[in-house]
Structure 1
């Protein structure tokens, strides 16, 4: 982060005022984690529902930090800190500063949202964009109302393009942060059941995801998955520029059947084939969305082919590893009904047997949790896998339904440690093993043991 602003300029961009110190001093960067304190550094005191970072100010003053951004009425807690900006709301001020900084750079920007595949699609676009020039993108999961501003503040004169993923856990989140990113092209990967504990129902998820369209400028392009039954509504609801993608005949950017290790796309009557190593049909669909967005933003097939050929899946997202004679597909960064079924499809299509699914709870499904775990158990049973291991309190519903659906080799315990020795023996004998669960299940420990 190199903002190259004066304190006075920064305060104006935030909607605040310099209440202490030199307004012409340089305001170049800041930190929000009190553990990162350093002499002369600037601390931004963020507040959340259960957290107020202002409480760290006295300790940070003793550590010798040089400045702070605080809420009005809290400056007394920053006694001893030389430079102070006071703002009405520190989160809103952070967003305002990031919006101001975004407007300093007139470069092509794409934004990606969706229940599943947004991180992968963002990384695919980053790989494509990087063929043209240096590209700014989210690091890690900095994709919400707290994280996206930090991603935007990384923009610099060295960047030729940018791509940002936008995450949400409640209605209005996408609208709030998409206006900060100001994309030229917006991508919606899909809409499915996730975070229902917060959204309530699938209709609200849909309404939230399509908020991204309202952030587009005149002439901007909406790119969406027309295989998705909810997103197909946009055919009638969206009157602006669009490009659809998917596997169906209606898709403008269509995924074709291709051999292993290859991506085949059809667009405007022409076929385009390129090396592509990411496993799973859903990753090919994500790639189609990335290709459509790249064309909409002004890049060509040369950059698309080179970028998608170079793309590697993110850690924890269909990450393929060899362990002796076993192939491990580790996909336990997150899990919801659609992504779990897609991962199971990838396992079922594997040529190397035995095929073994290791499934853990899908979190944040709220009152719908039992229903979706039962559906997943039935789906896993329908694939006739060689073995299914299940863990977690919610996955008990999936286990019971898997047995009712005819699964002959299903094992369950709330704690995966109980069946881990059996799994290790199975992996030692070889085969393909899918590890799929929400991150809270801690399946990284299983991966370490195999």
Structure 2
């Protein structure tokens, strides 16, 4: 393979690591020779952004030291990039200041950000013009560029997902957007490798609320134990700044006339009380219960999604939406791709595509759904990356969790696979029912061979980006 092709592979790896030099060098340490890189030609594809093109042109002459050239050029590029980001953000901020938004919502967390954003958008969109950041646009540069390309009007609602790759990222995004409502979706050990500790991860996510102006609203998911602990530490400071801190969750929502429950393969059942701002217990007893409640059935798996509906209903109430408008908005919500998405396949097989799920919390939610499905189950897993020093413990726990849920498990040959295997053995899983695989193409052939009619086939994050492999 020629040097140009290898340079393209390494640019793809660098992008997969979010241009993190430490992760990139760790990958080079595991794959030190050019022939090692060649194996990733079909697995890694560079996204030819302007940044990638500049790196390619600046590094193309260094055929014998491509990794060093890439990192050196990245260092110089970042100096100019910082100036460019400030200029783009300045222009976008000027544009934002000209629009009188009805509400600006900032969303962050270790999990559930995109699902929360999509459900809020679809429900509020029943009455208002809602603009949401596209998938994977969650950095200051990405948000600013999207704002410059989007047409807004006075009275619109703006929903911005915010990601963090290092300390201060969310602070910068929040100060730029200036949300009127900040939402913390949850906290877990995802991205521990980026931040070093759970405390640092919590601090990074809570930057959103720390950056809110006095009198603004903070909504946070009380079902997340780790987030609840992080909020309790900061609550007194938020109250001093007159931040309205409001918890939400999947349960105890009668006070706002909202009930939600899972119904197995049938999806979610949401009930909205017709009596605005009254619970079903407080409503007029002369009206039969069935006539008071507006029922919505949606093909969405997992009772944990009720918490996303709860926060959307809260926002609908704040914006003065009627019960009928909220119920109609709920009815329009559809499953998100790769997030517990049910797919009916030939042979009456139920495929659950959860391939975006890469956290223990997400797997736990999936297992709740699977427990309500009366079919033989096949699970496809690769393990959980970015666990840092806790990686072995996290993946052993994953193995123990899934051991009793599946009849057959396909396990990828990833760096954490041995830890998952130890957990499976501790959980009493039959080792003869474990099938190892190398890539996504091999998964397809194995599933075709072992699956029966009427099976349920669950796909977790089974095909990792090259940076993790």
> How does the TM-score come out when normalised to structure 1?
0.73
Q: Provide the residue aligned with 1:212 in structure 2.
A: 208
Q: CA deviation at 1:231?
A: 2.8
- 1:280 counterpart = 2:302: yes
**1:432 lines up with 2:456 in the alignment:** yes
Name the CA distance, whole Å, in 1 between partners of 2:427 and 2:445: 26
- Unaligned runs of 5+ residues in structure 1 are 1-32, 37-44, 57-72, 75-85, 443-450
Deviation at 1:190, TM superposition (A): 0.6
Counterpart of 2:372 (choices 349, 354, 357) is 349
Aligned pair partner of 1:143 in 138, 141, 155: 138
In the other structure, the counterpart of 2:279 is: 269
1:364 counterpart residue number: 386
Residue 327 of structure 1 aligns to a residue in which SS? Answer: strand
Equivalent residues in 2 for 1:168-187 (5 A)?
Answer: 168-187=164-183
1:225 aligned onto 2:221 = yes
Map 1:46-445 to 2 at 5 A.
89-107=83-101, 108-158=103-153, 160-233=156-229, 234=231, 236-237=235-236, 238-239=238-239, 240-249=243-252, 256-257=260-261, 259=263, 260=266, 261-264=268-271, 269-270=279-280, 273-324=295-346, 325-351=348-374, 353-383=375-405, 385-393=406-414, 394-408=416-430, 410-416=433-439, 420-437=444-461, 440=464
> Which has a greater percent of helix?
2
Are the aligned partners of 1:330 and 1:435 in contact in 2 as well (CA < 8 Å)? yes
Q: Distance in 2 between matches of 1:34 and 1:327?
A: 33
- Is there any run of 5+ residues in structure 2 with no aligned partner, and where? 1-45, 60-75, 281-292
Q: Measure how far apart 1:95 and its partner are.
A: 2.0
The answer (yes or no) to whether the contact 1:363–1:438 under 8 Å persists in 2 is no
Contact 1:413 1:419 in 2 (8 A): no
Q: Larger relative contact order (C-alpha < 8 A, sep ≥ 6)?
A: 2
Q: Distance in 1 between matches of 2:296 and 2:252?
A: 21
RMSD: 3.3
Write the distance in 2 (CA, Å) between the matches of 1:217 and 1:398: 44
246-255 or 224-233, which deviates more: 246-255
Q: TM-score, normalised by structure 2?
A: 0.70
Q: What is the distance in 1 between the residues matched to 2:223 and 2:109?
A: 13
- Contact 1:360-1:390 within 8 A present in 2 as well: yes
> Secondary structure of the equivalent of 1:230?
helix
Q: How many Å separate the matches in 2 of 1:104 and 1:374?
A: 52
- For residues 135 and 395 of structure 2, what CA distance do their matches in structure 1 show? 28
SS of 2:464 mapped into structure 1: helix
Structure ranking higher in strand proportion: 1
